[in-house]
Structure 1
Amino acid sequence: MSNSHYFIGFPVREDLKNRLEIWQKQLRKKADYKVWTFPDDFHITVKFLGDCADNTLEELLKNLESQDWPSVFSETIGPIGNFGSNVHPRVVHAKVSKSDRLSIIKQQVEEAGVKAGLDREKRPYSPHITLAKKWVSGTPLEDGSFPSVFREVYHQEISHLTLYRIHPARKPKYEVVAELPLHKKE
């Protein structure tokens, strides 16, 4: 596991991956991006870790395993959104609602990371599922000609955190390293 890049996130279930892939196909008809997320790589990031040495990663996992996590919960996925300009969005994504439980988990992950020697994220947390990034050309998202599918919303059960290793040259490029279950519903 030495000196690879990692992140912590929530996986996306198969039927939702299929629906988001339909969004990508519709988006490709109107816009071009340098990077299109491979459907098996769809996820909701909680914390990007970057380059982590083995001892840091081991300490982080120990800290995460000792957490008292909230119970399993559901998040709303959608509609489509973007980061950057509406004319030339640098990232197009499916929005993810930010429930109290998701905010608590984000805070717990940050605290576990700080205890392991990682930096605290300074940017506000904006949960999402990236569809495409690095705009090349195309029609603005808000021009009114995009299909109604982009306004749809879905629900995703959040049952566990996943530690992923990044392999930039592979498809899929995210490898599951560890899974941390949340508490069961009561």
Structure 2
Amino acid sequence: MSVHYFIAIPIEATELASVQQAILPYYSYRRVYRPEEFHMTIQFLGSTNADELDEVKEVTRRICEETPPFTLTFRSIDHFGRPDRPRVLTVVPDASEPLRRFALALRHELVEVIPRLDRKAFVPHVTIAKKWDVGERVAYVPPTFEATESVEEVILYEVQPNHTPAYRVVEVFPLRRSQEDIWQSRLKFLT
């Protein structure tokens, strides 16, 4: 079996775990994501050879170095599939121009490197459960919530379907740091 990879923003907002626990009783899923698995996929790479992976890392590193950190705000629950038996349950961020620009730039350059990549439109979301099990969704009033996530890095993950967690970090790509952040890090080191 070939190894698959994807590039994603790690999502650490603890509020999303609370939202997940509040709404899961109204659904029936075989695969429930653990909070440490929450992420927003920017580009699924699929099976990638070593040379392609090196190019992916180079492109990702360069785009990240050109992108300042930004913040995402989550307030909505959504899904993919039928409303009564959605195959994927998600939490979605508010519209974000920095996220849109970053995803567009990275995906455009990655397709140049690996033309066979999936070119579906980028739909920002964090999957919290998938693979509908039995029955139908129970009607409920979605909770109101607001969770923020400071995006300061992107991660290249390897999919490990028979492990927990199911994703292994291959490499972390920090977004561009301001000169002030760099100097503060240096000052901490010197003092």
Q: Give the TM-score range, shorter chain.
A: 0.7 to 0.9
- Secondary structure at the residue paired with 2:28? strand
Q: Structure 2 CA distance, aligned partners of 1:174 and 1:93?
A: 18
Deviation by residue 1:100-145 (Cα, 9 ceiling, x = unmatched):
111111122213312322434332211111011111235536x3x2
Q: 2:73 aligns with which of 66, 71, 76?
A: 76
Shift, 1:23, TM fit = 2.6
User: Do structure 1's residue 163 and structure 2's residue 160 form an aligned pair?
Assistant: no
Structure 2 match to 1:106? 103
SS of 1:88's partner is coil
Q: Are 1:36 and 2:32 an aligned pair? A: yes
Tell me, yes or no, if structure 1 residue 134 matches structure 2 residue 131.
yes
Identity of aligned residues (%): 27
Indicate which of 44, 61, 77 corresponds to 2:57: 61
Alignment of 1:24 with 2:23, yes or no, is no
1:4 alignment partner in structure 2: 3
Contact 1:167 1:174 in 2 (8 A): yes
- For residues 139 and 23 of structure 1, what CA distance do their matches in structure 2 show? 20
CA offset digits 1:134-186 (Å, max 9, x no partner): 11235536x3x2452xx312111111111011100111111111111112357
RMSD: 2.1
> What do the CA deviations read for 1:39-86 (whole angstroms, capped 9, x no partner)?
211101100111111111011111222335221110112321111121
Q: Quick check: 1:85 aligned with 2:71?
A: no
Does the 8 Å contact 2:73/2:94 carry over to 1? yes
TM-score norm. by structure 2 comes to 0.83
Task: Measure, in 2, the Cα distance between the counterparts of 1:87 and 1:140.
Answer: 5
Letter matched to residue 77 of structure 1: F
Q: C-alpha distance in 1, partners of 2:165/2:111?
A: 29
Q: Decide whether the 8 Å contact of 1:49 with 1:118 is kept in 2.
A: no
Task: Compare 40-49 and 25-34 and name the one that shifted more.
Answer: 25-34
| Unaligned runs of at least 5 residues, structure 2 | 181-191
In the superposition, the TM-score normalised over structure 1's length comes to 0.85
- Report the alpha carbon displacement of residue 19 of structure 1 after superposing the two structures with TM: 2.6
Larger Rg: 2
Structure whose residues are more often strand by fraction: 1
Alpha carbons 2:19, 2:145 under 8 Å: kept: no
Greater share of helix = 2
* Gap change, CA 1:32 and 1:63, over 3 Å in 2: same
Shift of 1:96: 1.8
The change in CA–CA distance for 1:33 and 1:130 in structure 2 (over 3 A counts) is: same
SS of 1:8 mapped into structure 2: strand
Task: Out of 130-139 and 162-171, give the one that drifted further.
Answer: 130-139
Query: Within 2, Cα distance between the matches of 1:66 and 1:25?
Result: 38
